[in-house]
Chains A and B, each alone.
Chain A
Amino acid sequence: DQQVKQNSPSLSVQEGRISILNCDYTNSMFDYFLWYKKYPAEGPTFLISISSIKDKNEDGRFTVFLNKSAKHLSLHIVPSQPGDSAVYFCAAGYNQGGKLIFGQGTELSVKP
């Protein structure tokens, strides 16, 4: 049972444009959501998180939106840069601690 899904395995965007990565979840008990970025041969790196009491969180070029009624979150990267090319994982958990359930990942390619 896939509780966290990223339905797009890949996304290609032109440098300077917006990248939008999407994630859906099924468990309404999740209250903490995160995005991780992963380069080849490295472990995932934390990017940004959002608590279920918010619907938006911003950090520089990265913004995460949460729509609890739709059980959907998205990551916006504006403007996209070639260095953003990586695999992005969304993850969900409880109480800002403990076990995370990860999606399958979306490979983002930002072309110069």
Chain B
Amino acid sequence: EAGVAQSPRYKIIEKRQSVAFWCNPISGHATLYWYQQILGQGPKLLIQFQNNGVVDDSQLPKDRFSAERLKGVDSTLKIQPAKLEDSAVYLCASSPLVGEQFFGPGTRLTVL
């Protein structure tokens, strides 16, 4: 069974630029999550989708972050414009309606 796919794996941008990340979840998983992991900390949920609807986006900085889940499958997370403090690993995870979350390898973002 294929795991959660993410791209790119690494991205370096300058502050005020835009960036987008892509995630393809495990086939059949209804729920998709985006987490932000800052160095030395645990992952923090940014947004949760169930099918193509948003369940929880309470911790998403909506002035600069946006996310969508196309047709209830793939998802993109965008940052526009990026700030220095956005440097982190962005993790995508998926799960069935009940059960553990499976994580992708993450995208490491460096904002200079």
Q: Does B bind A? A: yes
Mark interface residues in A24-63 (1 if CB within 8 Å of B CB, else 0).
Answer: 0000000000101000011111100100000000000000
Of A14-22, A64-72, A73-81, A101-109, which stretch is located at the interface? A101-109
Partner of B98, one of A4, A36, A43, A97: A97
**Is A100 an interface position by the 8 A CB rule?**
yes
Q: Count B interface residues, CB 8 Å.
A: 25
Partner of B103, one of A6, A45, A97: A45
A19 to B55 alpha-carbon distance, docked (Å): 37
Cβ distance B78 to chain A, nearest Cβ, rounded Å? 20
Q: Is chain A's binding surface mostly helix, strand, loop or mixed?
A: strand
Centre residue among A4, A100, A105 by max chain B CB count within 10 A = A100
Cβ distance A103 to chain B, nearest Cβ, rounded Å? 5
Q: Which residues of B contact A49 (CB under 8 A)?
A: 100
**B42 and A99 contacting across the interface, CB-CB below 8 Å:** no
Cβ distance A22 to chain B, nearest Cβ, rounded Å? 14
Q: Which residues of A contact B60 (CB under 8 A)?
A: none
Partner of B43, one of A46, A97, A102: A102
A residues lining the B interface (CB < 8 Å)? 4, 6, 34, 36, 41-46, 49, 89, 91, 95-105
The 4 closest A-B pairs by CB, nearest first: A102-B42, A43-B103, A46-B100, A97-B98
B residues lining the A interface (CB < 8 Å)? 4, 31, 33, 40-45, 48, 55-56, 91, 93, 95, 97-106
